[in-house]
Structure 1
Amino acid sequence: MKKEFKLTDPKKAPARQVDYVKHEINKYLARERRKTPKEGADYWDFDCKLGKDKDSAAVIQVSEINKAIDKVVSDNAESFYIEVLAKPGYKTKKVK
């Protein structure tokens, strides 16, 4: 998913628009995780970037997406860019 979300909508309250955006992103993550990983992979991992625009997007962890969106909202931005790309993930064995 490479998309720019608008945080303002004339028909919705700003807080509802932010909830809608977070819901869309979580829906995408859930849909990708349901897919069967490639052979040899254990799960789906994600490369994420988020910023005010494509050029200023910084690398973040999946668990930090909502916090980063809240930070963009607190900066009074009208929109933001998010990039979430699925990649195969591999579990590593712990050495005892």
Structure 2
Amino acid sequence: MKKVFNLTAPNKKPERQADTVRYEIKKYIKRERRKSLPDDCSRWDFDCKIGKDQSHAQEITIDKISSMIDEFVSQGCESVYVEIISRGVRT
């Protein structure tokens, strides 16, 4: 998933719009984890980037996405770029 999410909506407060973004990301991750793993892998892992736009995106762990979205909302950003790439991991 490589997507720019709007953090502002005419009929919603930014905090509620951030909840919508978090829900969509959570739904995507659940969908990816349901996919069958490649034969040589034992679990899914995710490479994540987040930023104001694609050129300013920084790598983070998947558990910090929610707090980073809250940080962008508190800064008053109108949109946020989120990139989540799934990959199989061998153990």
Name the TM-score, length of structure 1 as normaliser: 0.91
Q: Structure 1 regions of 5+ residues with no counterpart?
A: 92-96
Q: Structure 2 regions of 5+ residues with no counterpart?
A: none
Mapping for residues 35-50 of structure 1, pairs under 5 Å: 35-50=35-50
Name the TM-score, length of structure 2 as normaliser: 0.96
Opposite residue 19 of structure 2, the aligned amino acid is D
- Give the percent of matched residue pairs that are identical in Structure 1 and Structure 2: 46
Q: Quick check: 8-17 or 26-35, which moved more?
A: 8-17
Specify the alignment match of 2:70 in structure 1.
Answer: 70
Q: CA-atom RMSD, angstroms?
A: 0.8
Deviation per residue, 1:4-51 (Å, 9 max, x gap): 000001022222111000000000000000111111101111000000
Q: Distance in 2 between matches of 1:63 and 1:81?
A: 16
Larger radius of gyration: 1
Opposite residue 88 of structure 1, the aligned amino acid is G
Opposite residue 30 of structure 2, the aligned amino acid is A
Q: Which segments of structure 1 move beyond 3 Å, counting only runs of 4 or more? A: none
